[in-house]
């Protein structure tokens, strides 16, 4: 008779063997949480190793991602496409088992974790998605979307500020299908957490309006099981199960200490641990009886087949809802998407308005809410300033089929939650704040780019044009910061037409986040011919040019609100007889991806006389103008004053552009 402890020990042994083999890793948490994982995965988790993408599977997130061998061991034991060979390749290049879990739904990894607290936020995004989708698609006797989200967290996740942001919001949203297990082992890298982490977690989470189940022995299967049963009975609140565990459980000399947190056990300690756990087998060997008891393929197949039968019946009774859910799960845009966007574009061309690009964005959002049911907006307490709401906005707090989340002042938490919503599927999320507060959200933005997921990042008040709010709110360095992140596309449109193209790109781009950098101040509607309009999507294009044979005397590149300054300067310069080209470059990232021929047609390499204009950090632009060019940009922080006075003070004027042009010519 195989005991539950022996089944949990399989996780512990695979963990220490793989980490020793790699000579790198974190054995402490997987060894400490193995008993909790065994109960959860074998008794409660609804999943199917044959189809890791089954939409109604329970979601499992390992927020304390350094404990990666825990999830790798479980996935191997339960029958996912993760072999012993893959475990032996732990932490080696191009393996399925990197040092921290990286999103790969085909093998059961739901999200990339490692930066502590963000997996918790992603999981809350999963739970929000489940709640909204179930409200939309479930009908009497047809709970098509009906699953739990389970999250493992450690002390580090609890200490990170993001945990406060997202757990507070989760309580407000009454995410009762969210169950979080806290590995309360009292140890982190620097030693005993009581030396620097003393808050009462039970009272903290009760204040968030969570259901808290405290003081559970994390090594007692019966008590763990009882706590999960209790959590699943909760109908109003998310649940936190606080499990008292021993880090590195099973290691005679290192368990309960920080010495087992992030270092492999040596040979002697591994032998002693095997002896204490009564494990008699060679490294990486698991007896067939243990594999049989862990394997979830047959049970998972039966669970999904049962759901498929229900979904088939649902199709007959609710064919439209069935097709809509299938479309959204697949990530396809609505059938009439292109036609509807074309109509929106035609209307924009008729209404030649001189408005801020944040206002242009709001007008587009209003239309998108009509034609894109999966669009889910949100802002960090700046909805009225970001202009992210419209008459078609419905708050998810008050509307079961809502399309907007009021995140409160939680930029980091908001962005990481939206990452989870994007990963879950069925939604296209956007988040919004002032560009200067990108810093608060940065690591979650980086994770979105790393995971190749679609999130639309709306950042308004894009420059010194913020004016009287002063340098604390003037994001002079942030555009360059965002552009430097791999796999992110940034658009800074100059008017409502470019704003439309930016939005269209952001929604159609499935494989990376898109940042929309929008102005507070009004911009001038620019006239374009059909050929010019078709080139906006290429990131950079010629908006004005009086030269012939691709031989301008001077090229001026500008973005956003500075394009109108460049064009006004152009009108004067050509009156003096100069041959001038103005390039609007709303997206340097997209322009850089164009072929050599196109880039050469826009920026001929033989034309060395160039000026770049952007009310942002200037050094970025040397890549386009060379060392001989001139940049009209920011080298310092801004000042407090009227935006027109600030632009004049820092040289963003027509006269200064003409002066620099004459100097270089």
The set of catalytic residues is 411
- How would you class 406 by CB atoms within 10 Å of its CB: exposed for 0-12, middle for 13-18, buried for 19 or more? middle
Annotated binding site, which residues?
Answer: 26, 66, 114-116, 155-156, 185, 187, 261, 358, 385, 437, 461, 469, 473, 520
Tokens linked to 429: 């999320």
Contacts of 454 (CB under 8 A, 6+ apart): 422, 428, 506, 509, 510, 511, 512, 513, 514
Annotated binding site for thiamine diphosphate, which residues?
Answer: 66, 114-116, 156, 185, 261, 437
- Sheet containing strand 375-379, edge to edge, reads 404-406, 375-379, 428-434, 456-460, 514-517, 489-491
Identify whether the C-beta of residue 125 lies closer than 8 Å to the C-beta of residue 131. no
Q: What angle, rounded to 10 degrees, do the helices at 118-137 and 161-172 form?
A: 20
The rounded distance, in Å, linking the Cα atoms of 549 and 171 is: 64
DSSP 119-187: HHHHHHHHHHHHHHHHHHH-BTTB--S---EEEEE-HHHHHSHHHHHHHHHHHHTT-TTEEEEEEE-SE
Q: What angle do CA 611, 617, 619 make, to 5 degrees?
A: 60
- With b meaning 16 or more CB within 10 Å and e meaning fewer, what string describes 576-606? eebebbbbbbbbbbbbeebeeebbeebbeee
Length of the chain measured in residues:
665
Annotated binding site for substrate, which residues?
Answer: 26, 261, 358, 385, 461, 469, 473, 520
Q: On the CB side of 653, how many CA atoms lie within 13 Å of its CA? A: 12
If you search the block for the tokens 């389970």, which residue do you land on? 150
If you search the block for the tokens 């965002």, which residue do you land on? 482
Among 631, 453, 625, 479, residue whose Cα is nearest residue 560:
479
DSSP 205-266: HHHTT-EEEEEEETT-HHHHHHHHHHHHH-SSS-EEEEEE--TTTT-TTTTTSGGGTSSPPP
Tokens linked to 477: 């360095």
- Residue 610, φ and ψ in degrees, nearest 5: -140, 150
3-state DSSP of 309-347: HHHHHHHHHCHHHHHHHHHHHHCCCCCCHHHHHHHHHHH
- With b meaning 16 or more CB within 10 Å and e meaning fewer, what string describes 3-20? ebbbbbbbbbbbbbbbbb
Annotated binding site for Mg(2+), which residues?
Answer: 155, 185, 187
Tokens linked to 213: 């189940």
The rounded distance, in Å, linking the Cα atoms of 273 and 251 is: 5
DSSP 434-451: EGGGHHHHHHHHHHHHHT
């Amino acid at each position: 008779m195989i005991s539950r402890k022996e089944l949990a020990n399989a996780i512990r042994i695979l963990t220490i063997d793989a980490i020793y083999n790699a000579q790198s890793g974190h054995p402490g948490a997987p060894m400490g949480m193995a008993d909790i994982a065994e109960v959860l995965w074998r008794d409660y988790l609804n999943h199917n190793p044959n189809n890791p993408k089954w939409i109604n599977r329970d979601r499992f997130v390992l927020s304390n991602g350094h404990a990666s061998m825990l999830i790798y061991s479980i996935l191997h034991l339960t029958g996912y496409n993760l072999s012993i060979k893959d475990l032996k390749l732990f932490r080696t290049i191009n393996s399925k088992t990197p040092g921290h879990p990286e999103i790969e739904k085909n093998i059961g990894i739901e999200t990339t974790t490692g930066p502590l607290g963000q997996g918790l936020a992603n999981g809350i995004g999963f739970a929000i998605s489940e709640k909204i989708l179930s409200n939309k698609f479930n009908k009497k006797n047809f709970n098509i979307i009906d699953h739990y989200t389970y999250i493992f967290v450690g002390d580090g996740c609890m200490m990170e500020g993001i945990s406060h942001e997202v757990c507070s919001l989760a309580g407000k949203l009454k995410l009762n299908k969210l169950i979080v297990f806290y590995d309360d082992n009292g140890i982190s890298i620097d030693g005993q957490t009581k030396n620097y982490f003393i808050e009462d977690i039970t009272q903290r989470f009760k204040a968030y309006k969570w259901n808290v189940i405290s003081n559970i022995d994390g090594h007692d299967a019966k008590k763990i099981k009882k706590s999960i049963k209790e959590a699943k009975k909760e109908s109003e609140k998310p649940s936190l199960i606080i499990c008292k565990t021993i880090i590195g459980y099973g290691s005679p000399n290192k368990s309960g200490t920080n010495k087992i947190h992030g270092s492999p056990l040596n040979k002697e300690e591994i032998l002693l641990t095997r002896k204490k756990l009564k494990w008699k087998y060679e490294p990486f060997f698991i007896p067939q009886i243990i594999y049989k008891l862990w394997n979830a393929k047959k049970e998972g197949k039966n669970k999904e087949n049962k759901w498929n039968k229900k979904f088939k019946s649902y199709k007959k009774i609710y064919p439209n809802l069935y097709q809509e859910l299938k479309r959204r799960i697949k990530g396809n845009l609505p059938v009439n998407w292109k036609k509807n966007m074309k109509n929106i574009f035609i209307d924009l061309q008729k209404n030649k308005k001189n408005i801020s690009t944040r206002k242009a964005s709001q007008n587009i959002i209003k239309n998108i809410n009509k034609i894109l049911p999966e669009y889910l907006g949100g802002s960090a307490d700046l909805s009225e300033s970001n202009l992210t709401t419209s008459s078609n906005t419905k708050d998810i707090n008050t509307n079961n089929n809502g399309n907007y989340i009021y995140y409160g002042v939680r930029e980091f938490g908001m962005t990481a939650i939206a990452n989870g919503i994007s990963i879950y599927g069925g939604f296209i999320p956007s988040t919004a704040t002032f560009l200067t507060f990108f810093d608060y959200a940065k690591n979650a933005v980086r994770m979105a780019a790393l995971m190749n997921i679609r999130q639309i990042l709306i950042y308004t008040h894009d420059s010194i044009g913020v004016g009287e709010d002063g340098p604390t709110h003037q994001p002079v360095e942030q555009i360059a910061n965002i552009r430097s992140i791999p796999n992110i596309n940034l658009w800074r449109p100059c008017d409502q037409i470019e704003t439309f193209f930016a939005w269209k790109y952001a929604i159609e781009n499935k494989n990376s986040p898109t940042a929309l950098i929008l102005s507070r101040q009004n911009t001038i509607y620019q006239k374009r011919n059909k050929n010019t309009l078709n080139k906006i999507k290429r990131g950079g294009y010629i908006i004005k040019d009086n030269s012939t044979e691709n031989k301008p005397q001077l090229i001026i590149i500008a973005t956003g609100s500075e394009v109108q300054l460049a064009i006004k300067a152009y009108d004067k310069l050509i009156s003096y007889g100069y041959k001038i080209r103005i390039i609007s470059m709303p997206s340097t990232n997209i322009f850089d991806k164009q072929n050599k021929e196109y880039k050469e047609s826009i920026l001929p390499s033989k034309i060395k006389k160039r000026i770049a204009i952007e009310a942002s950090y200037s050094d970025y632009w040397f890549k386009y103008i060379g060392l001989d060019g001139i940049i009209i940009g920011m080298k310092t922080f801004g000042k407090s004053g009227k935006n027109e006075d600030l632009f004049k003070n820092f040289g963003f004027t027509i006269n200064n552009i003409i002066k620099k042009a004459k100097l270089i010519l």
